Structure 1
């Protein structure tokens, strides 16, 4: 997931540079920075599941991946990464389907309570998560209080 998102964001940075799209360049550069700070350990997991669908009038089940919500990660990252994940489906002139179709991913409200990667800036964290930590846990996770990582306000 990390590699795919980084590839999408990097392609979009290049596209925005070539198109002189300042706001797009700002957004996609931020996405690249966020991905590099969070790393693979800062990406949400997926659980296998099924969804009821109707194909040619016949009710059937379709395999899906339920994307979990990382409890430690600031909630602003959810819509940002959703946009990253949806971009190849929207920007068809930039991205072309290669290989077999991927399994449909649906956002879930399942919280993944795993520990965060060590050494993340404090800004990366959901405030409720930080409020629930003991001082020894903050030390254990090496949460960086002096290194800042701005969190944008989402419209």
Structure 2
């Protein structure tokens, strides 16, 4: 790097300038150096600057890599969560069909349909944390477009294996305590969502053109109802 023609040319120009400045004002700058000495000094300084730039660039690349790695991890977690909820809902539909419980069958069918409509894009981001006592937990950040009702609904879906252990053996990893994050994840909603699936304020922003508009489906539908675990238990006990 020190010996590259471009660097040597720059060092030569700067060395000539330094030599002239000292020669013109020796009382201020002190004893002058040979131009070749000035070139050596400037070459060394330039080399250090280039090294610092190279290190800074590598640091930027490392940071970008870490960001991409974290984003990839979040995508995998969303995919895992969505698949887990889909499996739970599918199993519960089968159980309700076997028990001839039309009400719960319809509820779980609506839940499964909502999962299919929202997809992975409609799944919250999650971040593992540890409190001052060493207890693990999870902070959940909801998508900015999704209706707040789904937080309550999916909480119930997630706790189904614990609420109905007689239907599930080991089902995924142990569920950790969850905390709702104050921030929401900025993410584009899937196409053809019922307008009822949106946060009212997000719909208003779309109407005003303050956020990219994605037309809701023409046929709207009500939000899914919560499952009734007591009714399930009563049917199984009977």
The C-alpha deviation readout for 1:41-100, integer Å capped at 9, x for no partner, is 101110121135xxxxxxx4022221223331112211111110000011111011257x
1:72 to 2:145 alignment: yes
Cα RMSD over matched residues? 2.2
Other-structure match for 2:94: 14
* Residue number in structure 2 paired with 1:55: none
Q: TM-score, normalised by structure 1?
A: 0.80
Q: Please give the TM-score of this superposition, normalised by the length of structure 2.
A: 0.54
Structure 1 residues 70, 105: CA separation in 2 closer, same or farther (over 3 Å shift)?
Answer: farther
2:186 corresponding residue in structure 1? 114
Larger strand percent: 1
Which structure's relative contact order is higher, taking Cα pairs within 8 Å and 6+ residues apart?
A: 1
Local SS of the residue matching 1:104: coil
Paired with 1:11 and 1:153, the residues of 2 have a C-alpha distance of 17
Which residue number corresponds to residue 107 of structure 2? 27
The size of the alignment, in residue pairs, is 144
Q: Runs of 4+ in structure 1 displaced over 6 angstroms?
A: none
- Distance in 2, Cα, partners of 1:98 & 1:108: 23
Task: Kindly name which structure, 1 or 2, has the bigger radius of gyration based on alpha carbons.
Answer: 2
- Choose the corresponding residue for 2:120, options 13, 17, 40: 40
Q: For residues 98 and 121 of structure 1, what CA distance do their matches in structure 2 show?
A: 31
1:4-35 deviations in Å (ceiling 9; x for gaps): 00000000000111111122111101100000
Q: CA deviation at 1:138?
A: 4.2
1:145 CA displacement:
4.8
Question: Equivalences for 1:29-108 in 2 at 5 Å?
Answer: 29-52=109-132, 60-97=133-170, 101-102=173-174, 104-108=176-180
